[in-house]
Amino acid sequence: MDTHGMDVAPSDTASWPDALFDLLKAHHVRQVAFVPDAGHSRLIRRCQADPAIKAISLTTEEEGIGLLLGAWLGGERGVLLMQSSGVGNCINMLSLSILHRTPMPMLVTMRGDFGEFNPAQVPMGNATQAVLEAMGTLVRRADHADDIVPTADATLRLAFNTFRPTAALIGQRVLGAKTFGKE
Protein backbone atom coordinates (compact mmCIF):
# COMPACT_ATOMS: atom_id res chain seq x y z
CA MET A 1 0.00 0.00 0.00
CA ASP A 2 1.36 3.41 -0.91
CA THR A 3 1.18 5.58 2.19
CA HIS A 4 3.17 8.50 0.78
CA GLY A 5 1.66 11.73 2.01
CA MET A 6 -0.84 10.07 4.33
CA ASP A 7 0.49 11.66 7.54
CA VAL A 8 0.33 15.23 6.35
CA ALA A 9 -2.22 17.95 5.77
CA PRO A 10 -3.69 18.43 2.29
CA SER A 11 -0.90 18.82 -0.24
CA ASP A 12 0.25 22.20 -1.44
CA THR A 13 -1.32 21.37 -4.79
CA ALA A 14 -4.77 20.78 -3.29
CA SER A 15 -6.82 23.88 -4.04
CA TRP A 16 -9.82 23.23 -1.83
CA PRO A 17 -8.43 24.76 1.42
CA ASP A 18 -7.85 28.05 -0.40
CA ALA A 19 -11.26 27.82 -2.07
CA LEU A 20 -12.83 27.26 1.38
CA PHE A 21 -11.11 30.41 2.62
CA ASP A 22 -12.52 32.36 -0.34
CA LEU A 23 -15.94 30.89 0.43
CA LEU A 24 -15.76 32.04 4.06
CA LYS A 25 -14.91 35.53 2.85
CA ALA A 26 -17.80 35.48 0.34
CA HIS A 27 -20.19 34.54 3.17
CA HIS A 28 -18.86 37.39 5.33
CA VAL A 29 -17.55 35.05 8.02
CA ARG A 30 -15.69 37.16 10.59
CA GLN A 31 -14.92 34.58 13.28
CA VAL A 32 -13.38 31.15 12.84
CA ALA A 33 -13.17 28.94 15.92
CA PHE A 34 -10.99 25.83 15.78
CA VAL A 35 -9.12 23.16 17.63
CA PRO A 36 -5.84 22.73 15.71
CA ASP A 37 -6.18 20.00 13.08
CA ALA A 38 -3.90 18.94 10.21
CA GLY A 39 -6.87 18.62 7.84
CA HIS A 40 -7.78 22.27 8.38
CA SER A 41 -4.21 23.55 8.80
CA ARG A 42 -3.95 25.60 5.60
CA LEU A 43 -7.42 27.08 6.05
CA ILE A 44 -6.56 27.98 9.65
CA ARG A 45 -3.31 29.66 8.58
CA ARG A 46 -5.17 31.68 5.93
CA CYS A 47 -7.74 32.81 8.52
CA GLN A 48 -5.02 33.74 11.02
CA ALA A 49 -3.26 35.84 8.38
CA ASP A 50 -6.39 37.82 7.46
CA PRO A 51 -6.92 40.86 9.70
CA ALA A 52 -10.65 40.88 8.85
CA ILE A 53 -11.11 37.45 10.49
CA LYS A 54 -10.80 36.62 14.15
CA ALA A 55 -9.24 33.13 14.23
CA ILE A 56 -9.76 31.73 17.72
CA SER A 57 -7.93 28.63 18.91
CA LEU A 58 -10.09 26.64 21.32
CA THR A 59 -9.19 24.33 24.18
CA THR A 60 -12.11 22.07 23.33
CA GLU A 61 -14.68 22.07 20.53
CA GLU A 62 -17.76 22.86 22.60
CA GLU A 63 -16.26 26.24 23.47
CA GLY A 64 -16.75 27.07 19.81
CA ILE A 65 -20.52 26.66 20.10
CA GLY A 66 -20.74 29.32 22.82
CA LEU A 67 -18.25 31.54 21.07
CA LEU A 68 -20.13 31.47 17.76
CA LEU A 69 -23.48 31.98 19.51
CA GLY A 70 -22.00 35.13 21.05
CA ALA A 71 -20.54 36.22 17.72
CA TRP A 72 -23.98 35.93 16.09
CA LEU A 73 -25.61 37.90 18.91
CA GLY A 74 -22.90 40.52 18.39
CA GLY A 75 -23.66 40.75 14.67
CA GLU A 76 -20.87 38.60 13.25
CA ARG A 77 -20.96 35.35 11.31
CA GLY A 78 -18.70 32.53 12.36
CA VAL A 79 -17.80 28.96 11.55
CA LEU A 80 -16.48 26.11 13.69
CA LEU A 81 -13.65 23.97 12.30
CA MET A 82 -13.07 20.62 13.96
CA GLN A 83 -12.23 16.98 13.54
CA SER A 84 -14.93 14.32 13.86
CA SER A 85 -13.49 13.19 17.20
CA GLY A 86 -14.49 16.58 18.62
CA VAL A 87 -18.14 16.30 17.59
CA GLY A 88 -18.90 14.24 20.69
CA ASN A 89 -17.72 17.15 22.84
CA CYS A 90 -20.34 19.46 21.27
CA ILE A 91 -23.53 17.42 21.64
CA ASN A 92 -25.06 19.14 24.69
CA MET A 93 -24.02 22.59 23.49
CA LEU A 94 -25.68 22.12 20.08
CA SER A 95 -29.05 22.45 21.78
CA LEU A 96 -28.27 26.17 22.28
CA SER A 97 -28.22 26.74 18.53
CA ILE A 98 -31.60 25.03 18.16
CA LEU A 99 -33.19 26.81 21.13
CA HIS A 100 -31.97 30.25 20.14
CA ARG A 101 -32.32 29.80 16.36
CA THR A 102 -28.66 30.62 15.80
CA PRO A 103 -26.66 29.66 12.72
CA MET A 104 -23.94 27.19 13.66
CA PRO A 105 -22.01 26.09 10.56
CA MET A 106 -19.36 23.46 11.17
CA LEU A 107 -16.69 22.15 8.81
CA VAL A 108 -15.67 18.74 10.11
CA THR A 109 -12.67 16.75 8.93
CA MET A 110 -13.33 13.05 9.34
CA ARG A 111 -11.28 10.44 11.16
CA GLY A 112 -12.09 6.79 11.63
CA ASP A 113 -13.94 6.29 8.37
CA PHE A 114 -11.54 5.43 5.54
CA GLY A 115 -8.29 3.55 6.08
CA GLU A 116 -7.97 4.64 9.71
CA PHE A 117 -5.17 3.03 11.72
CA ASN A 118 -6.28 4.23 15.15
CA PRO A 119 -9.11 2.07 16.55
CA ALA A 120 -10.05 4.82 19.03
CA GLN A 121 -11.10 7.08 16.12
CA VAL A 122 -13.49 4.56 14.55
CA PRO A 123 -16.51 4.77 16.93
CA MET A 124 -16.95 8.55 16.67
CA GLY A 125 -15.99 8.55 12.99
CA ASN A 126 -18.69 5.98 12.36
CA ALA A 127 -21.28 7.86 14.46
CA THR A 128 -20.53 11.50 13.57
CA GLN A 129 -23.27 12.05 11.00
CA ALA A 130 -25.94 10.17 12.95
CA VAL A 131 -25.10 11.96 16.21
CA LEU A 132 -25.20 15.39 14.59
CA GLU A 133 -28.49 14.61 12.86
CA ALA A 134 -29.99 13.32 16.12
CA MET A 135 -29.25 16.75 17.60
CA GLY A 136 -31.06 18.54 14.76
CA THR A 137 -28.03 19.42 12.68
CA LEU A 138 -28.40 19.43 8.89
CA VAL A 139 -25.47 17.38 7.58
CA ARG A 140 -23.90 17.15 4.13
CA ARG A 141 -20.82 15.12 3.21
CA ALA A 142 -17.99 15.54 0.71
CA ASP A 143 -15.92 12.47 -0.13
CA HIS A 144 -14.20 13.92 -3.20
CA ALA A 145 -12.13 17.10 -3.43
CA ASP A 146 -14.42 18.55 -6.11
CA ASP A 147 -17.39 18.24 -3.74
CA ILE A 148 -15.88 20.11 -0.77
CA VAL A 149 -16.55 23.71 -1.79
CA PRO A 150 -20.12 23.15 -3.08
CA THR A 151 -20.91 21.13 0.05
CA ALA A 152 -19.44 23.79 2.34
CA ASP A 153 -21.30 26.51 0.42
CA ALA A 154 -24.60 24.65 0.86
CA THR A 155 -23.81 24.16 4.55
CA LEU A 156 -23.09 27.86 5.11
CA ARG A 157 -26.21 28.89 3.19
CA LEU A 158 -28.37 26.48 5.20
CA ALA A 159 -26.97 27.77 8.49
CA PHE A 160 -27.32 31.46 7.72
CA ASN A 161 -30.70 31.14 5.95
CA THR A 162 -32.40 28.75 8.38
CA PHE A 163 -30.75 29.83 11.66
CA ARG A 164 -29.75 26.35 12.76
CA PRO A 165 -26.73 24.09 13.13
CA THR A 166 -25.28 22.63 9.94
CA ALA A 167 -22.22 20.52 9.22
CA ALA A 168 -20.14 19.70 6.17
CA LEU A 169 -18.22 16.48 6.71
CA ILE A 170 -14.97 16.31 4.75
CA GLY A 171 -14.34 12.62 4.28
CA GLN A 172 -11.09 10.91 5.15
CA ARG A 173 -10.97 9.67 1.57
CA VAL A 174 -10.12 13.27 0.58
CA LEU A 175 -7.77 13.98 3.46
CA GLY A 176 -5.94 10.67 3.48
CA ALA A 177 -5.81 8.30 6.39
CA LYS A 178 -3.19 9.13 8.96
CA THR A 179 -0.76 6.30 9.59
CA PHE A 180 1.85 7.83 11.94
CA GLY A 181 4.35 5.39 10.44
CA LYS A 182 2.16 2.32 10.77
CA GLU A 183 1.43 0.28 7.66
Confidence (pTM): 0.90
For the chain, what is the mean pLDDT? 90
Of the pLDDT bands very low, low, confident and very high (cuts 50, 70, 90), residue 112 is confident
pLDDT at 113 (0 to 100): 85
Write the pLDDT tens digit of every residue in 35-53: 998 899 999 999 999 999 9
Which DSSP symbol is given to 180? T
pLDDT at 95 (0 to 100): 93
Output the DSSP codes for 85-101.
GGHHHHHHHHHHHHHTT
Evaluate the CA torsion angle 174, 165, 37, 73 in order and state its sign: positive
Sheet arrangement for strand 29-34: 54-57, 29-34, 77-83, 104-109, 165-170, 138-142
Provide the pairing of β-strand 77-83 with 29-34.
parallel
Of the pLDDT bands very low, low, confident and very high (cuts 50, 70, 90), residue 181 is low
pLDDT at 177 (0 to 100): 66
pLDDT at 9 (0 to 100): 54
Averaged pLDDT, 5-15: 56
pLDDT at 183 over 60: no
pLDDT at 74 (0 to 100): 97
Distance of CA 65 to the CA centre of its chain: 12
